[in-house]
Amino acid sequence: MGRLNINGEIVEVEFDDDTPLLWVLREQLGLTGTKFGCGVAQCGACTVHIDGQAIRSCVYPASAITEAEQITTIEGLSEAGDHPVQQAWEELDVPQCGYCQPGMIMAVAGMLNNNPEANDEDIDAEITNICRCGTFGRVRRGVHLAKTKMA
């Protein structure tokens, strides 16, 4: 049992000590925008924010998170789905199958929180999410477009 602050709301939810945040979000709270891809912190499909920092929720026990920490999922990134990164993604039609994209968007938004000027080297170093459809070119362009929207 724990109290979590998710997308601005405090929720009380039951989970085991070792249950990763990913499964609490998906199975107990119905927040299925956060995806399961690998379960071992390799692919980034499960990326969410804790206090604005991107983390991989498949290996992050929910029990390690305090009520004071703010969890943001793709559903809570913006109210109308219009965060600058989401806008850029829509404009460039980034998603193909789309399954990796909530994680990709959260990873990019997290990077831009810390570094609104992120350049190509920053993208190379920080965006390690897997996309099997191969949207990397548009992801890169999307980051640069999102930056202009945030400026």
Q: Which amino acid is at 98?
A: G
Which residues fall within 8 angstroms of residue 50, CB to CB, at 6 or more apart?
60, 65, 69, 70, 71, 72
Beta carbons of 31 and 77 less than 8 angstroms apart: no
In the list 50, 74, 145, 146, the residue contacting other proteins (rule: CB under 8 A) is: 74
Beta bridge partner(s), residue 49: 54, 72
Which residues fall within 8 angstroms of residue 18, CB to CB, at 6 or more apart?
61, 63
| CA distances in angstroms from 9 to 5, 51, 111, 119, 145, listed in the order given | 5, 14, 24, 34, 30
Q: Which amino acid is at 96?
A: Q
Give the one entry of ligand FES, other proteins, none that residue 16 binds, where binding means its C-beta sits below a cut-off of 5 to 8 angstroms depending on kind: other proteins
Say whether residue 93 binds ligand FES (CB under 6 A).
no
Say whether residue 111 binds other proteins (CB under 8 A).
no
State the binding string over 7-36 for ligand FES (x if CB under 6 A, else -): -----------------------------x
Measured from the CB atom, the residue of 5 and 34 that comes closer to other proteins is 34
Beta carbons of 48 and 25 less than 8 angstroms apart: yes
State the binding string over 103-142 for ligand FES (x if CB under 6 A, else -): ----------------------------xxx-x-------
- Which residues sit at the interface with ligand FES, rule CB under 6 A? 36-39, 41-46, 56, 58, 95-101, 131-133, 135
Interface residue list for other proteins (CB under 8 A): 16, 19-20, 23, 26-28, 30-40, 42-43, 45, 73-75, 81, 86, 89-90, 93-102, 105, 123-125, 127-140
